[in-house]
Amino acid sequence: MDSTYAKWFDNGSVVVDVQLEDSDEFLSEEEIIMLTGAPKGSEILVVSKDGAIEFRVKNPMFVSDMVRRLISIDDTTYSYLLSNDALELKNEFSALGIGTRCVIREIFAAKKALEEYPIESIEVYAIGNYESFYSKDYPMRGYYVWATMGFDALIPMNVRPKLSQEFKDFLLISELVFTEKGREEWMKKGESVHLSFKTKSDSTSWALLERYMAEKEIEL
């Protein structure tokens, strides 16, 4: 594991409170900690809410609780939905790589849980644009960071006309962010968008994540 991961993540310091009717048949505490991506010193409450299983993570580093929901698509398939506005670190912790490691932990945990809970995708509404990317008071970079980590979607229709000629035929955000020039294009012209990470090992999402982790020297 890398030094940032070693410093800010310690499963032994996380408290898990599962308030489900059949909690004995649910995920173990270790699996819950990994699936939420909770950093050290967190408290995780697991409840049933609005037809989903909700994981609410409290931590002194967070501006507000970090929330994840496990939602059933049908009788046998699940999709793990992430709420981007619920992953907000206080300023003193925002540039340390903690947030990205929270997400990467859950991605790997979701893949590991595929046999018991077939989590097909991890979804997020990623907020921001070029102007907010460089905001001094409240930077919002989710639209760019999540995309470079492998979260994908069709390029929004209102963004497509703004793209340079060489990118006009691209359909997916992943096509843009696969190259350095394309990433710059998405940074400057992209905007808030609903993104999805496909957990199957042969997906484009994994190819992008592996490159992202290598570039950032992230090791779990």
| Tens digit of each residue's pLDDT (9 = 90 or more) over 165-193 | 999 999 999 999 999 999 999 999 999 99
Last residue of a domain, one of 88, 123, 158: 123
Geometric angle at alpha carbon 49, from 44 and 54, rounded to 5°: 30
Whole-number pLDDT of residue 218: 93
**Percent of the chain surpassing pLDDT 90:** 59
Sign of CA dihedral 129, 150, 102, 82: positive
Parallel, antiparallel, or unpaired: how do β-strands 15-19 and 52-58 relate?
Answer: unpaired
pLDDT at 85 over 60: no
* φ and ψ at residue 77, rounded to 5 degrees: -120, 140
User: Is the residue at 98 inside a domain?
Assistant: yes
SS (H, E, C) 72-95: ECCCCCEEEEECHHHCCECHHHCC
The answer to whether the beta carbons of residues 70 and 52 sit under 8 Å apart is yes
User: Is the residue at 219 inside a domain?
Assistant: no
What's the total number of domains in the chain?
A: 2
Same domain, 115 and 134: no
| Tens digit of each residue's pLDDT (9 = 90 or more) over 86-110 | 678 888 898 889 999 999 999 999 8
